[in-house]
């Protein structure tokens, strides 16, 4: 029952925004679930943060693709847990591998697989160093404190829309400036 309520609330939050990201990327450890995979055994039954499944389901229902970018050194355990939680098939890309690049390699692979521009992605992670690095790629990135929840969702969509609006305003300024210059040069050529 809790997952459905969260899904309904998440859908309402999403409905408040003009633009949704084309792809939402999630870290795993301490973002979707409250533990590090390398500290667990494949035999255990994992659990998600209380809002996570409802939020994932809401994105799927809205037609927004979701992916995983995890620097876990135990990809086998992470993949087993995704299977046990019956959420593996929800993700269009699952980049789970150990890395020192703070997820730039993960995002390059996700971009190659999906074709989604970085500026059309939203990312949730619990590590500030990943947030900083991925933000520099043009991805709207949100730091989560206690896993992904409805508050983080609202913050993420707010920041994503602000970034889209800023980008659109800059594009319009550039187009106005460019079209203004071309019309004045055409006038000069006619003289």
Name the residues annotated as catalytic: 27, 29
Tokens at residue 107, please?
């995002």
Rounded to whole angstroms, how far apart are CA atoms 20 and 13?
A: 11
Residue whose tokens read 């829309």: 161
Q: Which has the closest alpha carbon to 35: 90, 86, 72, 83?
A: 72
Residue whose tokens read 């990943």: 130
Tokens at residue 112, please?
């190659």
Rounded to whole angstroms, how far apart are CA atoms 51 and 9?
A: 10
């Amino acid at each position: 029952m809790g997952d459905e309520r969260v899904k309904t609330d998440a859908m309402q939050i999403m409905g408040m925004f003009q633009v949704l990201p084309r792809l939402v990327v999630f870290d795993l450890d301490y973002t979707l679930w409250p533990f590090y995979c390398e500290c667990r055994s494949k035999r255990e039954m994992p659990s998600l943060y209380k809002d996570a499944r409802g939020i994932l389901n809401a994105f799927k229902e809205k037609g927004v693709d979701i992916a995983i970018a995890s620097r876990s050194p135990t990809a086998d355990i992470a993949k087993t847990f995704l299977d046990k939680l019956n959420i593996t098939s929800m993700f269009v890309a699952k980049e789970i591998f150990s890395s020192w690049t703070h997820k730039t390699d993960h995002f390059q692979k996700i971009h190659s697989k999906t074709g989604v521009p970085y500026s059309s992605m939203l990312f949730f992670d619990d590590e500030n160093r990943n947030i900083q690095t991925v933000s520099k790629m043009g991805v709207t990135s949100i730091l989560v404190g206690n896993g992904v929840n409805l508050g983080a969702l609202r913050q993420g969509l707010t920041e994503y829309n602000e970034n889209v609006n800023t980008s659109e305003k800059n594009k319009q300024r550039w187009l106005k400036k460019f079209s203004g210059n071309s019309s004045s040069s055409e006038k000069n050529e006619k003289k």
